[in-house]
Copies of this chain bind each other. A is one copy, B any other.
């Protein structure tokens, strides 16, 4: 394994294993992963509009997929955590939605898998299913957000978003209550105005769910989850597949 360091193979391996891949599968994937690189916070990992010939893999740090809407606003579709594939959809549906960009929220580490190599990897049925599941997991996130987005109050939406990111960053092995997300990011991800996001966050602070500091730091996860009506099971699929112990909150 010259092309990958330990942390990289660790986060990718645990992810794929949890999706049902076996040891042989993992080995093939790790051999296909190329071009590890550092990206500074705030810069684009995948530029909107580029035609990509490879799949981008987020090894470390946090990023977001966004799109510019007609009216000039940025809309964030989803956040990415260590181990996530940033543009799997580009491989599955080439030429579709190439206007999506991926931006690093923190200093990040990325790697790539060429689409040509993906073709080979998918000849392994279990691996194909694992990749399929990865996209389904993302779809489950969209579905969940869809119901929360159109039906719930700003307080619920914001706290649900925070719960989701916290749960996912934990699933990626990072246990940190502070999220590297600005209030503007929250606004762009929820569709709520920045001003109202600010007031909402202040409400969460007064409830003692978030810290008083100006960055986003969760101090009472249980309360936050309660406010958000957060039920993380929709993210737990990997745990089920891999037969891990059910999480005890």
Assess whether A92 is interfacial by the CB under 8 Å rule: yes
Given contacts A93-B237, A149-B150, A234-B97, whether A132 and B128 have CB atoms under 8 Å apart is: yes
User: Per DSSP, are chain A's interface residues mostly helix, strand or loop, or mixed?
Assistant: helix
CB under 8 Å from chain B, chain A span 26-80: 67, 69-70, 73, 75, 77
Q: Which of B70, B149, B237 contacts A149 (CB 8 A)?
A: B149
Distance from A176 Cβ to chain B, minimum over Cβ atoms (Å): 27
CA distance A68 to B234 in the complex (A): 15
> A residues bordering B, Cβ < 8 Å?
67, 69-70, 73, 75, 77, 89, 92-97, 122-123, 125, 128-129, 131-133, 135-140, 142-143, 145-147, 149-151, 190-192, 229, 233-234, 237, 240
Distance from A160 Cβ to chain B, minimum over Cβ atoms (Å): 12
- B133 lies within 8 A of A122 (CB): no
- B96 lies within 8 A of A234 (CB): yes
Q: A123-B125, A142-B143 are in contact. List 6 more A-B contacts (CB 8 A).
A: A75-B151, A122-B128, A146-B149, A147-B191, A149-B149, A149-B191
Copy number in the complex reads 2
**Most chain B C-beta atoms within 10 Å of own C-beta, residue among A77, A129, A229:** A129
Distance from A77 Cβ to chain B, minimum over Cβ atoms (Å): 6
Given contacts A128-B125, A143-B142, A150-B149, whether A136 and B93 have CB atoms under 8 Å apart is: yes
